[in-house]
Chains A and B, each alone.
Chain A
Amino acid sequence: AQSVTQPDIHITVSEGASLELRCNYSYGATPYLFWYVQSPGQGLQLLLKYFSGDTLVQGIKGFEAEFKRSQSSFNLRKPSVHWSDAAEYFCAVGLTGGFKTIFGAGTRLFVKA
């Protein structure tokens, strides 16, 4: 069955430190991969997406993600975290042939001064 796993329910990093949020997926076909961010009280906003080509994709707000087919992973990274990055982050997989996007359970990021 298709699934998206975000192993970390929450992560705390210091402001200025680097960040990596993990995402693993289970899907037999070519995945369409997304990272969304949800700030408190807001809807989700797209950070970046990967369909094909270069496996390192750049997104908004200084985020990037790397697709590794051999590891079924699509981890999100940022070199230096800002306090405004505190939010919940969702990894998602779009399923070919249907209208379904599977979302992970989310990782809540806390940023300490």
Chain B
Amino acid sequence: NAGVTQTPKFQVLKTGQSMTLQCAQDMNHNSMYWYRQDPGMGLRLIYYSASEGTTDKGEVPNGYNVSRLNKREFSLRLESAAPSQTSVYFCASSEGSRGHTDTQYFGPGTRLTVL
């Protein structure tokens, strides 16, 4: 049982390049999330998916797109990377579909640098 896995662990991009961060969970969870973590700011929600086939914007969605490919996988795409998107990105999942009461299980993170 691997829990929540993320690839890649590290990535360096040039401004304007695109990339997709991959996330998968093997816990049969309904909900999945993408967060970014910046120094002194805690975690901020980018997008979430309450169930397979649905996605919704979180607090900081601009510049990102997501796909809930199936129940296991939830990817985050940066179409045209900007230096402001330099951050650590965490994927998380939770069993239920109520969000605010669920325990979230986090992946190890992707450290992204945009030059």
Q: CB-defined interface of B67-95 with A at 8 Å, one 1/0 digit per residue?
A: 00000000000000000000000101000
Which of B31, B41, B105, B107 touches A105 (beta carbons < 8 Å)?
A: B41
> Given contacts A44-B106, A94-B100, A98-B100, are A105 and B42 in contact (CB under 8 A)?
yes
* Candidates B41, B92, B100, B108; contact of A100 at CB < 8 Å: B100
B34 on the A face (CB < 8 A) = no
Question: How many residues on A have C-beta within 8 angstroms of the other chain's C-beta atoms?
Answer: 27
Interface size on B, residues (CB 8 A): 26
A42 to B4 CA separation, bound complex (whole angstroms): 11
A97 CB to nearest chain B CB (Å): 8
22 A/B residue pairs, CB under 8 Å, sorted by A? A34-B103, A36-B106, A43-B4, A43-B107, A43-B108, A44-B90, A46-B103, A94-B100, A94-B101, A94-B102, A98-B100, A99-B48, A99-B50, A100-B45, A100-B58, A101-B99, A101-B100, A103-B42, A103-B44, A105-B40, A105-B42, A106-B42
Chain B residues in contact with chain A, CB under 8 A?
4, 31, 40-45, 48, 50, 56, 58-59, 90, 92, 99-109
Q: How far is the CB of B108 from chain A (nearest CB, A)?
A: 5
**A96, B43: Cα distance in complex, Å:** 18
Nearest Cβ distance between residue A58 and chain B, in whole angstroms? 15
12 other A-B residue contacts (CB within 8 Å) besides A32-B101, A98-B99, A105-B40 = A9-B40, A43-B106, A43-B107, A44-B106, A49-B103, A94-B100, A99-B45, A99-B99, A99-B100, A101-B45, A101-B99, A106-B42
